[in-house]
A and B are shown apart, each in its own frame.
Chain A
Amino acid sequence: MILRRTLFSLPLLGFTSALADADAPPPLAPGASAPLAMVMNSGEATVSVINMTTREVIKTLPTYREPSHWVLTPDRSKLFICDASGNALFIVDPLTAQPLGHMTIADPYQLGYTPDQKYLVVNALRINHVDVYDGVTLKLVKRFSPGKMPSHLDFSPDSKWSFNSMQGSDTLVSFDLTDMTTRWSVKVGPTPAGVLWHNGKILVCIMGANGIIEVDPVNGEILRHVETGKGAHNIFITENKATIYVSNRIGGTLTALDPATLAVRRNYTIPGGPDDLGEAPDGKLWIALRFAEAVAVLDPVSGDFSKIDVGRSPHGIFLNTAMRKPGKLTAETL
């Protein structure tokens, strides 16, 4: 695998380093070796570590089976990478990409700390569980079985409510984390995936349709539908809250939305199954392309993008340049 990485990165070296010089990100926090992108290759049980300056894959970390999504621990000292069929969290130093070990946990696919960091909520997609762990001890506090294939999640800013999409049940489910009860469960459309709390509402990607919906977090009422593209999969908001991006899996597009109106500003054509993304300090978007074994680096101004070869089925992506930002870092807030 290392040989493979080396072979396939060699032809890119001259090209990518010339591209990268002008856009070198500012320095990271003390202890950081370099600005790094960590790409979770679900299809080959590895994490590709890319030097964001040279855009080379500098190392490939083995995982157990199937890395997917990530979360930073509240103290930012560890990056937890979900390894779903490996039944483990793969722990990595977010600054250096040094492996720090594993923690056994049942089928973690997607996860997130509540904003108050009291709980770690884990969607176990294969076994239809939503598990709530204590944010400090990581002991299981509550297990819900709310439907089929729990997929993505987000929280209300006051940490009281969790919103989890059920990919196999076509529902969005909300849990009250103060008394560990289910608040409501509503049908939202075929195969819901990405979830984002935004402006007091919940935005949900409907992968079996062509856009996102806006949901009232109080009662689960569907307020409106916004067309983005076929197979709307995941949703992100930029750090400055200026743009919402939706990756459309079937359409092979990335849609930029106005956060105030949810009007479509622009569609970028990025074939290869766009999935998760990160925003680099230079404003470029690093997008995992599931079917292309590559990460696309998109200039959202010009619409141009280049690719960096990674492993099979790249899924989640963590840019450690995000460590400069204050406050809680999540996969959905770029």
Chain B
Amino acid sequence: MFLDRFFSIIAGDIDQWLILPVLYHFGWMEWEELSFDWALICVYGMFAVIVTYAVCWPLEALFPVERWASRKAVGVDVLYTILNRVGVIPIVSFLLFYQLQVVFTGTLVDWGFVPPDLEMWIPALFGHPVITFLIYALILDFADYWRHRLSHTFRAWYALHALHHAQRQMSFWSDDRNHILDDLISFVWFFVIGLAIGIPPLQFPLLILLLRFIESLSHANIRLSFGWLGERLLVSPRFHRLHHALKGAGRKSCNYGGVFPYWDMMFGTADFSDLYLPTGDARAPEALATGGYLAQQWTGAKMFAGAMFKRG
């Protein structure tokens, strides 16, 4: 809790002394109500990167699945992580979708439908914010399971998602390597879910970071299993590595879950094999694996356009 307050104060200082003067100078003060949230996202994002690095780097050094002569291909994943975790992509996505959200939600309200929160569906949850948060986490992880599984099912969608799978040097930095259109689809996906069950409570940023940490850890180049029971409670590096294995690339895969493996167990896509296989997508262009950020984005966009307009 000390950290919670500490980070909020830092975010407040960044907002007060850095962001707000910029908004004021350029005449963008209408965003001042939200600028503190943006500062908070950036501060927590930076903290998440530091903690993830501090925990995962020694583990990767001590218990690696693979040893690489060069880590050059990992470099671009660091850039993806910074862009995502310090808030650049979330903030840009928010600004792009803000007007859409205004029009869409406003229209729903005009029709007499006020988007509910989960606590409106289940009033007993009110006053129990931690339980509410955990239920939101389960629902959103369930939704993410289906988003992820569908991204492997449709050819055009997988053309975007292939960027995530192309990495042969998968590490804890790889979680955020996604095509920007893939990120936007995710944003829309969760926007729609948000309309149905409300925006999850954001008063527990450290819990959110813990969930994101599990996702980063699951990509780490670590020979680590959580044991028979643990593997069935949380997604481990071993469990998720099977999803990223060469055989897991493409339109039929396994272990789609991000944080919880329950959905894979429920829908028959779980694979708990005690294997640590090489990762990557053998059919992906080399630019997706080892190209720079722009090369990866451009190649992914071309693959997406090709898949969209390909007949048959």
Q: Which residues of A contact B (CB under 8 A)?
A: 1, 3-4, 7-8, 43-46, 62, 64-65, 85-88, 99, 102, 104-107, 124-129, 143, 145, 148-149, 167-168, 190-191, 207-208, 230-231, 249-250, 252, 271-273, 290-293, 309, 312-313
Chain-A contact segment, one of B61-69, B103-111, B240-248: B103-111
Is the pair B203, A44 in contact by a Cβ cutoff of 8 Å?
Answer: yes
The reply to whether the CB of B20 lies closer than 8 angstroms to some CB of chain A is yes
Q: Which secondary structure characterizes the binding site on chain B? A: helix
Among candidates A87, A106, A207, A293, residue contacting B8 with C-beta atoms closer than 8 Å: A293
B9 close to chain A: CB less than 8 A: yes
Tell me how many residues of B have a C-beta within 8 Å of chain A. 42
Check if A62 sits within 8 Å of B24, measured CB to CB. Answer: no
Q: List 30 A-B contacts (CB under 8 A).
A: A1-B203, A4-B4, A43-B36, A43-B40, A44-B203, A45-B201, A62-B126, A64-B119, A65-B202, A85-B199, A87-B116, A87-B117, A87-B198, A88-B120, A102-B126, A104-B120, A125-B33, A127-B106, A129-B109, A190-B27, A191-B32, A207-B29, A231-B20, A249-B20, A252-B16, A273-B12, A273-B16, A290-B36, A309-B5, A313-B36
A64-B119, A87-B114, A104-B114 are known contacts. Are A271 and B129 too (CB-CB below 8 A)? Answer: no
Q: State A134–B12 Cα separation when bound (angstroms).
A: 39
Query: In the bound complex, do residue A250 and residue B20 qualify as a contact, i.e. CB atoms below 8 Å apart?
Result: yes
A129 to B108, CA, bound (A): 12
Which 3 pairs, one residue from A and one from B, show the smallest C-beta to C-beta distance? A291-B12, A191-B29, A4-B1
User: Of the candidates B21, B27, B129, which one forms a contact with A62 in the assembled complex, judged by CB atoms under 8 Å apart?
Assistant: B129
With known contacts A86-B117, A127-B105, A8–B199 Cβ distance under 8 A:
no
Please name 10 further chain A to chain B contacts, defined as beta carbons within 8 Å, in addition to the given A1-B1, A65-B202, sorted by A numbering.
A4-B1, A43-B37, A45-B129, A65-B117, A86-B198, A102-B120, A128-B106, A291-B15, A291-B16, A291-B36
Count chain A CB atoms within 10 A of each CB in B24, B127, B201 and give the residue with the most: B24
Residue from A65, A148, A167, A207 having most chain B Cβ neighbours under 10 A: A65
Chain B nearest CB, measured from A164 CB (Å): 15
Asked if A272 and B117 sit within 8 Å, CB to CB, the answer is no
Contact between B106 and A129 (Cβ–Cβ < 8 Å)? yes
Complex: A309 Cα to B1 Cα, angstroms:
13
For B21, the chain A residues whose CB sits under 8 A away are 250
B181-204 CB contacts (< 8 Å) to partner A:
198-199, 201-203
- Least distance between A277 CB and chain B CB atoms (Å): 18
Q: Residues of B at under 8 Å CB distance from A? A: 1-2, 4-5, 8-9, 11-13, 15-16, 20-21, 24, 27, 29-30, 32-33, 36-37, 40, 101-102, 105-106, 109-110, 114-117, 119-120, 126-127, 129, 198-199, 201-203
Q: How far is the CB of B242 from chain A (nearest CB, A)?
A: 38
Q: Is the CB of B12 within 8 A of A293?
A: yes
Contacts of B37 in A (CB 8 A): 43
Say yes or no: A65 contacts B201, CB within 8 Å: yes
Q: Which residues of B contact A252 (CB under 8 A)?
A: 16
Distance to closest chain B CB from A297 (angstroms):
19
Residues of B within 8 A of A313 (CB): 36
Q: Give every chain A residue within 8 A of B202 (Cβ-Cβ).
A: 44-45, 65
Among A64, A252, A273, chain B packs the most CB atoms within 10 A around the CB of: A64
CB distance from A131 to the nearest CB of B (A): 9
A326 CB to closest chain B CB, in angstroms?
Answer: 34
State which of B115, B127, B129 has its C-beta within 8 Å of the C-beta of A87: B115
Closest chain B residue to A145 by CB distance? B106
Given A65-B117, A65-B199, A87-B115, is A231 in contact with B12 using a C-beta cutoff of 8 Å?
A: no
**Which residues of chain A have C-beta atoms less than 8 A from B110's C-beta?**
143
* Residues on B with beta carbons closer than 8 Å to the beta carbon of A293: 5, 8-9, 12
Known contacts A46-B203, A250-B21; is-contact A291 B13 (Cβ 8 Å): yes
Residue numbers in B under 8 Å from A145 (CB-CB): 106
Docked CA distance A241–B27 (Å): 33
Which residues of the other chain, B, contact A167 by a CB distance below 8 angstroms?
A: 29-30
Q: Are A249 and B27 in contact (CB under 8 A)?
A: no
Bound Cα distance A149, B24 (Å)? 17
Whether the Cβ atoms of A207 and B114 lie closer than 8 Å is no
> For residue B9, which residues in chain A have a CB less than 8 angstroms away from its CB?
291-293
Which residues of A lie under 8 Å from residue B29 when comparing CB positions?
Answer: 167, 190-191, 207-208, 231
What CA separation (Å) do A46 and B116 show in the bound complex? 18
